[in-house]
Amino acid sequence: MKKSKFYSKLAMLCLSAILAFGACSSESGDPTDISQTGSLRLGLTNQAFFPKATTRAVNEDLYRQTDNYTVQIIDEKGEKVSDALYSSIKNTTFKLNNGNYTVKAFYGEESNASQNTFLVTGQVNISVAANDQAVNIECYPTCGKLRANFDASMANYFTAYSITYETETLSAAGATVNWTQTNTDPWYVKLKAEGEEVKATIHLTRKDDGTSSQVVKSYSGMKPNQSWTMNIAPHDDNGSLGITITIDESTEDIIHDIEVPSDWI
């Protein structure tokens, strides 16, 4: 009888051990276990931008406000883990399964040339391996900015004057853009990241005799986020009518800092 009770107790102990082991195994295989996930906090900055300006068509200040940007987290299968405005997720800690991810941020729309919108975007690739990390996305325009100012006195000497702009990107699409004598809104033109040549052909029709002429100016190696402004005025050189062109090529560095709490780093 004693031996029977001993074996009964032994069996119960073994069963308890097996159940405990099974529970531990189940917990260690849980995909939400810390060893299978990592955490991510995001920051977003515009590291540089065009000289500050607001036009009738485009309010560039809206592009400077990082809260307006859409932020996407995309896994290695191409599926979106998160897709939201930065304003709603900037204080969020994301729990992500281990793996590789692409984080994108953007505002606006991209086209070869537009006077109504442009694109500012940035992207980082990250690897999650049961770690805790803070990642900053730096965003830049994908375009350059073209402007021209015709002096009011141009109308005294010319019946017509305008500019045709050409870029390598536009030429590949069989297109150009025109700046008319009454134009005031900038052209935002898509440019290669490494830079490309932008050509401006200034068309003039003289008032006194109706003859037409052209003047060509080029910006070699113009890159996204650069601005090219031409100021054009008539010039009389001893009875010979011409034009004076002054050129401004500039950018303005404006940093938008996002404060990251020390416990995030």
DSSP string, 21-42: HHHHHHHHT-TTSGGGEEEEEE
Q: Residue 235: its pLDDT value, please?
A: 81
CA–CA distance, 53 with 72 (Å, rounded to integer): 28
Q: Residue 262: its pLDDT value, please?
A: 35
Q: Tell me which H or E stretch contains 50.
A: none
Q: Residue 53: its pLDDT value, please?
A: 62
CA–CA distance, 43 with 122 (Å, rounded to integer): 12
CA–CA distance, 148 with 181 (Å, rounded to integer): 9
Q: How many CB atoms lie within 10 A of CB 188?
A: 30
* Per-residue CA distances from 263 to 37, 53, 109, 169 (Å): 18, 38, 36, 45
Q: Residue 257: its pLDDT value, please?
A: 33
In tens digits, the chain (265 residues) has pLDDT values of: 444 444 444 445 444 444 444 443 334 344 445 469 999 999 999 866 777 666 667 888 899 999 999 999 999 999 999 999 999 999 899 999 999 999 999 999 999 999 999 999 999 999 999 999 999 999 999 999 999 999 998 999 999 999 999 999 999 999 999 999 999 999 999 999 999 999 999 999 999 889 999 999 999 999 999 889 989 988 876 656 677 777 777 665 443 333 333 333 2
CA–CA distance, 62 with 142 (Å, rounded to integer): 16
Query: Which of left, alpha, beta for 25 (phi over 0: left; psi -120 to 50: alpha)?
Result: alpha
The backbone torsions φ and ψ at residue 101, rounded to the nearest 5 degrees and listed phi first, read -135, 155
Structure tokens at 92: 């969020």
CA–CA distance, 57 with 186 (Å, rounded to integer): 9
Q: Residue 171: its pLDDT value, please?
A: 95
β-pairing verdict for 80-85 and 132-141: unpaired
pTM over 0.85: no
Structure tokens at 153: 């006195």
